[in-house]
């Protein structure tokens, strides 16, 4: 679409030229995020203001120790509820375009009739741990990294499908499509499934430089390219939701659908991170830091430390990920295991339970060291046998110190990863915090102190949904470019600068923290 046509569309969207019953109708853009523990749909107007939002939490299943699964039928029911709720709330600002972001690695197997054949194992499911050595022997870490930009590790889709082939051959044989949650949603909306480069990049099947499925890697698993969705760039229009399907879902007619992205690069876009030396800091179930850069970085430091490199949702840019699977999930564990009093207080007062917990936390740095390996680790270790640990407790240790110690430990784990990125030639000077955890001023100050860098908060905290809206709006001509969309929609709210005294204390403690895993590793592996 030419610039003039794009501008006309944008102005029309702003003004809203359809009048019914003397009401002026404007349009909205919808971003849908399908996460590990819940889904959220948010509608924005063309200036980035939130018009309506809906969230549903679904259960994470664990039928065996180390397994972590989702029921895709349940996920879809909750997605439908969110879409219907937002559509109902935006009748005067009807949705014209949407895009989807989703967790990585997880696929839903469908038969030729579109029936779901099996549960979906999520990223930190550990059943594939024993397959890593097979890939190392038959393909090699260096070759996998060369093709995919991904380090060899158990969470990736390639190993999950290999496990299915070996352990559920009768199901594997019936599969017509393996769909990531992005493409699964498009399929459920009545469209031909497509996936974008960023979601494809989390499969360990995708050639990051050729921008297509790697036949070499697919062959090792016995999966063909036509069993996967077609990979296209983020922000590609793939179709319009059929009227019949829109009626079923309570959606307005004519909604155009564009590809979104993996949750991390999508929320990075929604935080306005499109320049080198700035990184997004996603604070949700998984904690993840995402820097951006202009050329693929595929050096030895990245490989040796299991740091990936793949596409950004912003065309022409690339990202790296450093993360720990036990992020906000660990605070949630504390809430559910030890926070009964606070949960009852939240029910009684209507306050957020996490706000109540942090209100009781220590106001100064602790002497505790918390290793947040309560599930399989992320970068740099990818150790399924590591365990969590809280060290330094005495009979005088308070509940408030334990709460703060948990938040410190989660953050220290990521600070070590930031230091590795700097060593790899990917420096970070500023962090943009996103996700549910960014709503806590208390935790944001801890993060600024431990990171030794400013932490800034975009005014829209759920930036993954905004990133999808930006992609949908740009793809359909509401904005002339993603740069224009970022400039127009994203503003910084709060900023947290490192407290010099606390930052010095944490810098000294980091040396002790860095020793935790190496000293405990052998013990954990013997347990």
The pLDDT of residue 333: 95
Q: Are 498 and 454 in contact (CB under 8 A)?
A: yes
Give pLDDT, residue 286.
84
Name the DSSP letter for residue 61. B
Supply the pLDDT for residue 6. Answer: 42
By the 10 Å C-beta count (0-12 exposed, 13-18 middle, 19+ buried), 240 is classed as: middle
Question: Looking at residue 60, what DSSP letter applies?
Answer: P
Strand blocks (E) in 35-152: 38-44, 50-57, 69-70, 95-102, 107-110, 120-121
287's enclosing H/E stretch is strand 287-293
d(CA 264, CA 252): 29
- The answer to whether 296 and 318 have CB atoms below 8 angstroms apart is yes
Q: Where are the alpha helices (DSSP H) in 280-435?
A: 300-304, 328-338, 340-349, 353-359, 399-423
CB 488 within 8 A of CB 462: no
pLDDT at residue 26, as a whole number: 77
Q: What is the CATH number of domain 328-421+497-526?
A: 3.30.420.40
Classify residue 313 by its DSSP letter.
S
* Residue 3, pLDDT score: 38
pLDDT of residue 20: 38
The predicted model scores a pTM of 0.86
Question: What torsion do the CA atoms of 228, 230, 235, 237 make, to the nearest 10 degrees?
Answer: -120
Phi, psi torsion values for 162, nearest 5 degrees: -65, -40
Sign of the Cα torsion 245, 250, 251, 253 reads positive
pLDDT at 401: 98
Distance separating alpha carbons of residues 342 and 339, to the nearest angstrom? 5
In Å, how far from its chain's centre is CA 438?
14
Percentages of the chain per state (helix, strand, coil), in multiples of 5: 40, 20, 35
Phi and psi at 240, nearest 5°, equal -120, 135
List, as one string, the DSSP characters of 194-248: EEEHHHHTTTT-EETTTTEE-HHHHHHHT--GGGSPEEE-TT-EEEE--HHHHHH
Residue 260: phi and psi, rounded to 5, are -105, -110
10-residue mean pLDDT profile of the chain (527 residues): values are 42 40 66 95 95 96 95 98 98 97 97 98 93 97 97 95 98 98 98 98 97 98 98 98 98 98 94 95 90 95 96 96 90 96 97 96 98 92 92 97 98 97 97 90 98 94 90 97 94 96 98 96 94
């Amino acid at each position: 679409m030419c610039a003039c046509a794009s501008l006309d569309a944008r102005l029309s969207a702003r003004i809203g030229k359809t009048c019914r019953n003397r009401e002026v109708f404007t349009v909205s853009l919808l971003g849908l995020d399908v996460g590990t523990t819940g889904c959220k749909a948010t509608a924005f107007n063309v200036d980035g203001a939130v018009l309506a939002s809906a969230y549903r939490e679904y259960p994470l299943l664990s039928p065996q120790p180390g397994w972590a699964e989702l029921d895709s039928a349940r996920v879809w029911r909750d997605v439908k509820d969110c879409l219907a709720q937002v559509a109902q709330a935006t009748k005067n600002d009807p949705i014209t375009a949407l895009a989807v972001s989703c967790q990585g690695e997880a696929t839903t197997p469908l038969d030729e009739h579109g029936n779901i054949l099996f549960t979906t194992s999520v990223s930190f499911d550990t059943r594939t741990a024993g397959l890593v050595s097979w890939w190392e022997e038959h393909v090699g870490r260096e070759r996998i990294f060369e093709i995919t930009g991904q380090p060899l590790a158990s969470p990736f889709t390639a190993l999950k499908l290999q496990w299915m082939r070996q352990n559920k051959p009768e199901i594997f044989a019936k599969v017509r499509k393996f769909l990531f949650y992005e493409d699964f949603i498009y399929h459920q909306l009545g469209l031909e499934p497509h996936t974008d480069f960023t979601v494809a990049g989390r499969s360990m099947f995708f050639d990051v430089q050729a921008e297509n499925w790697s036949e070499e890697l697919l062959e090792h698993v016995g999966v063909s390219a036509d069993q996967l969705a077609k990979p296209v760039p983020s922000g590609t229009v793939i179709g319009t939701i059929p009227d019949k399907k829109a009626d079923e879902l309570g959606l307005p007619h004519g909604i155009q659908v564009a590809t979104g992205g993996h949750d991390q690069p999508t929320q990075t876009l929604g935080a306005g991170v499109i320049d080198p030396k700035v990184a997004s800091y996603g604070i949700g179930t998984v904690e993840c830091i995402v820097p951006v850069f202009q050329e693929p970085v595929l050096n030895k430091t990245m490989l040796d430390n299991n740091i990936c490199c793949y596409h950004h949702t912003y065309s022409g840019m690339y990202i790296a990920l450093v993360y720990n699977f036990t992020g906000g999930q660990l605070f949630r564990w504390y809430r559910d295991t030890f926070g009964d009093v606070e949960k009852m207080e939240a029910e009684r007062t209507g306050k957020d339970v996490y706000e109540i917990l942090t209100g009781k936390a220590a106001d100064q740095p602790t002497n505790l060291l918390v290793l947040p390996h309560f599930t399989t680790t992320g970068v740099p270790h990818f150790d399924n046998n590591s365990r969590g640990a809280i060290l330094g407790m005495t009979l005088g240790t308070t509940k408030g110190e334990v709460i703060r110690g948990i938040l410190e430990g989660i953050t220290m784990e990521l600070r070590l990863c930031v230091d590795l990125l700097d060593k790899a030639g990917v420096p970070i000077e500023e962090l943009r915090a996103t996700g549910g955890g960014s709503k806590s001023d208390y935790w944001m100050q801890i993060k600024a102190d431990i990171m030794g860098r400013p932490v800034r908060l975009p005014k829209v905290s759920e930036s993954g949904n905004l990133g999808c809206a930006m992609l949908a709006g740009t793809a359909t001509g509401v904005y002339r470019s993603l740069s224009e969309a970022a400039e127009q929609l994203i503003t910084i709210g709060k900023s947290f600068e490192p407290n010099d005294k606390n930052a010095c204390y944490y810098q000294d403690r980091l040396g002790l923290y860095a020793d935790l895993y190496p000293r405990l590793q052998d013990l954990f592996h013997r347990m």
